Chain A
């Protein structure tokens, strides 16, 4: 079969809509039918939710579906599955694994989380110490993961663990799919700066993972993880946002509606940030146009840096602008939300939560290293951990 063009995709989308009218079809049924029609992610292979079509043509499908009021798969709620687990399963999974995992992942029936970070291994992720020891057809996993977003709602996890402590740290890691309902998996909420628990600690005690749920060869988990991490950083910037669509929106509205709050200092800062937010929006739009034109640039890694800083500065300004109100906070009750919702809460929440934007998914410092070395080609710092067995590293 040759890959369909824009017209072909439009026709297939209309066929899907005709066979499963959104108004009368159950949401999950519609999403399953969309997956089976190859219109979930058109650049994926046929049979796995796609049609081997150019990635850029997804916009054609999305536009048709949006116009028809079709339900979407709530990408924000299943972000880790869509952005990280799926490309990794596609790239390294066996046929059985792809068949088993991709459809419920995309439809949103199964939520995924990412068991990567550990108390002793964050930026230096390859230093991780969670052990996986072979026992017949299974691996037995022991260790502790931390800051695991959505672990409390996840059915599956991507997991990296050490399978050989006697070789340098990057080489002794393997990559698994962990069933979060298995015995030995314990998820404890980890309350955070905002008062709620969006992430968790995860304790793994004698968890048995069948070898059939390993992704990629034994000892090559770091290479597999690179795919995951690269996708994590690129997944931002894909959608088009309107002017004032980000955090600058609420602040600008407050400025317009409440003249009594205005001061000259805040005005200067607001205008500077307004311009920067507009420019970041345009840079995101340019990145999107490059992707659509099939010329992806390295700009993706930059956008996360830009948005992290902007979110933090704008939300900081917003708290000050609100004066007396900025001294208040909506609610410190410990909750375990399904997803992070920046706009639904108040300025204080936005201020505090946005501090995570420069830490989660790779800190801004680490991203700046990546830009400097991979984009600008600057030399790496001298290293003293590359040729030392993991077990001999200082911790």
Chain B
């Protein structure tokens, strides 16, 4: 018989009751404040983020502090709970800097290991949702790519405490109070409104996750950690971001399938509901199968991050290599099976397609993550 992993080592791929309760709270909040017309209206306004929605999510529900220990003012929960929040945010495509601030920036700061001082203070504020921070690393950066000499680290050079550099595109920078800037000599916290900091909004493919270019021209920041510690912390932040992005992709794909099923049951052509045509049924059944699989992959990544499993890099790479494709496939099918309606601006399908396609690049493409699988599993290229 083959050796089997001990029951205690097997990842828990289900949702706990507490997680389901959290899901219900987030879902009902989003239904109230971020239904599709509201999300579309928001994308066309000057204020891409709804401050009341953020306050309710971050503070009232307490979602912002899920990853932060209680002694720093957080909930002391884990990536499993955060993943559930992100799943629901994916289902609604509401603009909220959750993944970027409450996961990636928070995880980066946590990885510095500070119990007091500026990093710990900032964590406490992020946990309450009163402040928002983003890691000033391009949104497309994959875990493993933030090594010295690449992306942010070299470009924002610290010259006697004053930072110089141009960075972008940075996700959710427009919502940020604080930018976490990795440089060759360490990680700096820079106030977004500090002198010498320019945030220039970019026109993004994904309307619901605003991007900005950041220019630092003699901006001063607070040094949070030295280069070595910072590098590992950024890596950890990106790993958590990539791992939990899979849950966003899962929620997004589920919405697309549910809406497509609903639409094709109601829409009649040729004197039948179009959902009774087998060629369509099979496509939706295939999506369902992919989503069932994506759920297992996303839960596995969240559980690995939560338990600190040595399997985490592989679990995250597998989830990203798989879930990106599923989300894009679901969103593309959603547009196609809605016909003309699916191409309109009023129908929310386009928001999901744009989010799905942007997510497929965020924190590394599927191909990039397959390379990680190849390295970890010793399946090298020729």
A interface residues, Cβ below 8 angstroms from B:
66, 240-242, 245, 252, 255-256, 259, 262-264, 267-268, 270-272, 274-276, 278-280, 282-283, 285-286, 289-290, 293, 295, 299, 302, 305-306, 365, 368-369, 371-373, 375-382
Within 8 Å by CB of A289, from B5, B12, B321, B378, lies B12
Contact B382 A259 (CB under 8 A): yes
B347 CB–A CB distance under 8 Å: no
Since A279-B293, A282-B11 are in contact, a sample of 14 more A-B pairs with Cβ atoms closer than 8 Å, ordered by chain A residue number, is A242-B3, A264-B381, A272-B370, A275-B321, A275-B370, A275-B373, A282-B13, A285-B11, A302-B293, A306-B293, A369-B285, A371-B289, A376-B288, A378-B265
Please name all residues of chain A whose beta carbon is closer than 8 Å to the beta carbon of B294 when the two chains form the complex.
279
B4 CB–A CB distance under 8 Å: yes
CA distance A290 to B13 in the complex (A): 9
Please name all residues of chain B whose beta carbon is closer than 8 Å to the beta carbon of A252 when the two chains form the complex.
377, 379
Please name all residues of chain A whose beta carbon is closer than 8 Å to the beta carbon of B130 when the two chains form the complex.
none
Within 8 Å by CB of A271, from B10, B292, B374, lies B374
- The chain B residue sitting closest to A271, CB to CB, is B370
**Interface residue stretch chosen among B71-79, B230-238, B275-283, B350-358:** B275-283
- The chain B residue sitting closest to A372, CB to CB, is B281
Given contacts A289-B12, A368-B286, A376-B261, is CB(A279)–CB(B322) below 8 Å? yes
Interface size class of B (residues with CB under 8 A): 35 or more
Within 8 Å by CB of A379, from B1, B273, B300, lies B273
B interface residues, Cβ below 8 angstroms from A:
1-5, 10-14, 257, 261, 264-265, 272-273, 275-278, 280-282, 284-286, 288-289, 292-297, 299-300, 318, 321-322, 370-371, 373-374, 377-382
Nearest-CB distance from B281 to chain A (Å)? Answer: 4
Contact B382 A262 (CB under 8 A): yes
Given contacts A272-B370, A282-B296, A282-B300, is CB(A378)–CB(B377) below 8 Å? no
Contact A299 B292 (CB under 8 A): yes
Please name all residues of chain B whose beta carbon is closer than 8 Å to the beta carbon of A293 when the two chains form the complex.
14
A-B contact pairs, 22 of them (CB 8 A): A242-B2, A242-B4, A264-B381, A271-B321, A272-B370, A274-B379, A276-B293, A285-B296, A286-B13, A289-B13, A293-B14, A302-B288, A306-B289, A365-B282, A368-B281, A368-B282, A371-B289, A372-B282, A378-B264, A379-B275, A381-B277, A382-B276
Given contacts A66-B1, A252-B379, A272-B370, is CB(A283)–CB(B296) below 8 Å? yes
Contact A368 B382 (CB under 8 A): no
Please name all residues of chain A whose beta carbon is closer than 8 Å to the beta carbon of B300 when the two chains form the complex.
282
Within 8 Å by CB of A279, from B278, B296, B380, lies B296
CA distance A120 to B92 in the complex (A): 49
Q: Which 9 A-B pairs have the closest CB atoms?
A: A372-B281, A262-B382, A282-B296, A379-B276, A371-B285, A286-B13, A283-B296, A271-B370, A368-B285
